[in-house]
Structure 1
Amino acid sequence: MALWDRIKESASQMQTQLEARKNELRSGAFRDASMAMCALVAAADGGVDPSERQRVAQLIAANDVLQNFPADDLRRRFEANLDKLTADFAFGKVSVLQEIGKAKKKPAEARAVVQIGIVIGGADGHFDRDERAVVREACFALGLSPHEFDL
């Protein structure tokens, strides 16, 4: 199977798993950690161009699991995290990883946050090295093994 197909299949499987748990994923910690994860993946290479910002915002709005929350609230939180990362990536990343770590208390939510990162990163069919690295760091912030997610 080609790498492209494996990435698409993995992202699809993650999305299916998330949808199966949609009703469990309603907490503020999950919402905040998910938006921090989306911003971290979008800025994984140290910057975010406007088209990438827009693409990730559209993916957030279209994600069935995230529709548990008001779209304007999600967008505001996503943008706030992106602003931290674009102002100073290294310092912003520390803050964003702390936000992600707040979902650590509930293992199902922590796994769902990682899955959101994989879905967002793989949505374009290319889950690149930088995206994989930040999702791996998020795993550590959440107390999860990256190997559980093939990272």
Structure 2
Amino acid sequence: MAIWNRLRESAKTMQAQLESRKNDLKSGAFRDASMAMCALVAAADGSVDPAERQRVASLITSNEVLRNFPADDLQRRFNDYVTKLTGDFALGKVSLLQEIGKVKSKPVEARAVIQIGIVIGSADGDFDQNEKAVVREACLAVDIPPSDFEL
């Protein structure tokens, strides 16, 4: 239970940090990188079942920071990215990591994308090894040491 409490507190802290930067997170590159991150986390095990897709979509629309963007636009982008991953996971992952890498030159956005991945991955109380692995890869795509996020 202590691990779950620590994970939940960490996710809450990251969400609060994201909300404090909400006004800095309005670019199209951030929007696209965030949706790519959400899709990567949702498909971290190589597939996305309908229930998981719905859960992540719900988290996206309820996330305060992502409310900077129209919900239907976010949903469409998320679904497009998931489709890339389910068509060919390895190729889709490379494409999505490239999308995430586009925020590398904007440290606030880059860190926020990683935090969104952790918040989404932690939402069900089990930030599993597959989810951690894709978030680590995303860290490398934006030149942030994974250890900055205890990954």
TM-score, length basis structure 1? 0.99
Aligned counterpart, 2:42: 42
Q: Secondary structure at the match of 1:103?
A: coil
Structure 2: unaligned runs, 5 residues or longer: none
Per-residue displacement from partner, 1:17-51 (whole Å, max 9, x unpaired)? 00000000000010000000000000000000000
Aligned counterpart, 1:87: 87
State the one-letter code of the partner of 1:30.
Answer: F
Report the aligned-residue RMSD.
0.7
Aligned counterpart, 1:69: 69
State the one-letter code of the partner of 2:89.
Answer: F
Cα distance between partner residues in 2 of 1:110 and 1:116: 10
State the one-letter code of the partner of 2:5.
Answer: D
TM-score, length basis structure 2? 0.99
- Give the 5 Å matches for 1:105-116: 105-116=105-116
Aligned length: 151
Aligned counterpart, 2:31: 31
Cα distance between partner residues in 2 of 1:40 and 1:56: 11
Shift of 1:2: 1.1
Aligned counterpart, 2:51: 51
Q: Secondary structure at the match of 1:110?
A: helix
Cα distance between partner residues in 2 of 1:26 and 1:142: 18
